[in-house]
Amino acid sequence: MESIIIAVHVVLAVGIIGFILIQRGKGADAGASFGGGASQTVFGSEGSSNFLSRTTAILATLFFSTSLALAFYAKQKADNVMDLGLVPAVIEQQSAPVIADTLPVVEPGVPNIQ
């Protein structure tokens, strides 16, 4: 199931990139993306901007949904690793012990000059 979501996630990412690159800039002509004035007849009187922006928004929403699903699966895997008890043992091995005998003793009222 996770591999299917990853595949859909990648396809959505490529689709978002493609639709963003197809959209025209602020100063671009309406037919610059499709070569001439034919884009007005394909997408209606509003042109391609409404169709492309709506499709990009839908793809972005689906992309966020797959991101949340992948985060859910990652959390489930992390919980399974924590249940094994392996992580706290690694943390205990990496911490250095504090030896009280090596700490300097400072008496109250006496300045610590070394």
Based on the number of CB atoms within 10 Å of its own CB, is 48 exposed (0-12), middle (13-18) or buried (19 or more)?
A: buried
The residue with greater pLDDT, 57 or 96, is: 57
Structure confidence by residue, pLDDT tens digits, 18-53: 999 988 766 555 555 555 554 455 555 556 668 888
Distance CA 105, CA 114 (A): 12
Domains of the chain, by residue range, sit at: 2-94
Based on the number of CB atoms within 10 Å of its own CB, is 51 exposed (0-12), middle (13-18) or buried (19 or more)?
A: middle
Per-residue model confidence (pLDDT) at position 79: 75
What is the distance, to the nearest Å, from the Cα of residue 92 to the centroid of all Cα atoms in its chain? 31
Distance CA 9, CA 16 (A): 11
